[in-house]
Amino acid sequence: MNKAEKMLHGLLDRHEKTPERKRGITQKIVNDGLTADQREIFYSVLQNAAKRGAIKLEWGKYELAHTIQRVRVTDISKLYSFLKRRAAPDASYSAAQKLREEIGPPPAWIKNLIDDLEQGWRVQKAPYRLSPDRRDQALVFLKLLQAIDQGNFEQLDLRTFSRRAVGDSKAIETHASRLAEALRKYHDLPYTRDPMDTLAALGLQKFPQAILFAGKLRLEDEATLSAVPYIGLPADWVDQLYVEGQPRSVLTVENLASFNRHVREVRQGDDIVLFSSGYSSKAFQRLLKRLDRQLPAGVPFYHWGDIDPHGLRIFAVLERLIQRPLRPHLMNHDIAMKHGKKKNKAGKERIIINSDSAIHDLALFLAKEGYCLEQEELDPQPPLE
């Protein structure tokens, strides 16, 4: 493609980005820097386009009468024809329609996402950093979303799930940022700087982990599990577990060091303590919901995590899983100011917490003041004395 054709394509790009514009599309011509041969080709292409009625050439005056000073688009359709280029709406519809045919009947939210792609392509944008000429990548992206929507990943590591979904074990990691962006838009998932954390909040993790549990549980076959200081529960056991007795409280702990200290140093009686491992797995989430259903409403549930944006988002994810209130443990303004450190990014970190959340006020404080605290800085304390 020569310089004149590039310039004319640029004029069409401007039209497609703002098709509703009323002002004409023009381009000033800079004649400097062209050799005699380059100028001959440049002028020849523009003159041919003008003869086809696609553009109008505005020539200079006096000593510049031999130079083209400006190009003005006069007929968009003829310019498309001259360049043998399909109009963006046509090309966008064709590309999106092929995706619809290849993906099969998608759920409503993925159908809306394909519509978003088409609308972006119509105005020369690349939603999710995918343009129409990357349709193969768009198809992989959509198939991954469809597989995630079906939810058949609980017992699988990330790469096995990815391979089974699209035949590429690393596809999820390749598309992680756009997957996280789409899932945040269409599902109630937290914003995180690392897209893998957003996927982890959904339960997509590189390796399925055992659930570390302290307390007393019973299996369906009547076997009692008295976990002191704790045991690791396979995800397969979750649906067979029942609470033995009545614990005074249930506490989830974000970080492993704090979990180990808590169960060894301050856990009391039959209180249940769970290691959430940051953004929790699907199996952990199922267990927490199961405990919520089985235990009387009077048993309080707590979460102890870092006082930082990630810690608050993890709290919010867990909070939405259960019917009863989730209470913050060792997570408040006073503790943050007394033991935490003020970060330079105060006021810049994006923290979105629902106004009815138990940590909404702490999120506002953190966003404004910037005090952060890793929970390992604190000695464990029981939620109930």
Please write the tens of the pLDDT for every residue from 191-238. Answer: 777 888 888 777 787 776 789 999 988 888 777 878 889 999 888 888
* Tokens coding 213: 């549990």
Q: SS3 of 110, please?
A: helix
Beta strand ranges found along the chain (DSSP E): 26-28, 55-59, 68-73, 211-219, 224-233, 241-243, 250-253, 272-275, 301-304, 326-328, 341-342, 371-372
**At 281, is the pLDDT very low, low, confident or very high (cuts 50, 70, 90)?**
confident
Q: SS3 of 155, please?
A: coil
Place of tokens 């050799």: 35
Q: What is the pLDDT of residue 345?
A: 56
Minimum mean pLDDT range among 88-97, 127-136, 213-222: 88-97
Place of tokens 């200079």: 60
37-45 average pLDDT score: 88
Q: Is the pLDDT at 262 greater than 90, yes or no?
A: yes
pLDDT per residue as tens digits for the range 227-248: 889 999 888 888 888 888 889 9
Q: SS3 of 272, please?
A: strand
Q: Is the pLDDT at 348 greater than 70, yes or no?
A: no
Total-model pTM: 0.65
Distance CA 92, CA 75 (A): 21
Q: What is the pLDDT of residue 79?
A: 85
Q: Is the pLDDT at 256 greater than 50, yes or no?
A: yes
152-159 average pLDDT score: 78
CB distance 43 to 68 below 8 Å: yes
Distance CA 93, CA 115 (A): 9
**At 50, is the pLDDT very low, low, confident or very high (cuts 50, 70, 90)?**
very high
Find which of 131-135, 193-197, 340-344 is predicted with most confidence, using mean pLDDT. 131-135
343-358 average pLDDT score: 68
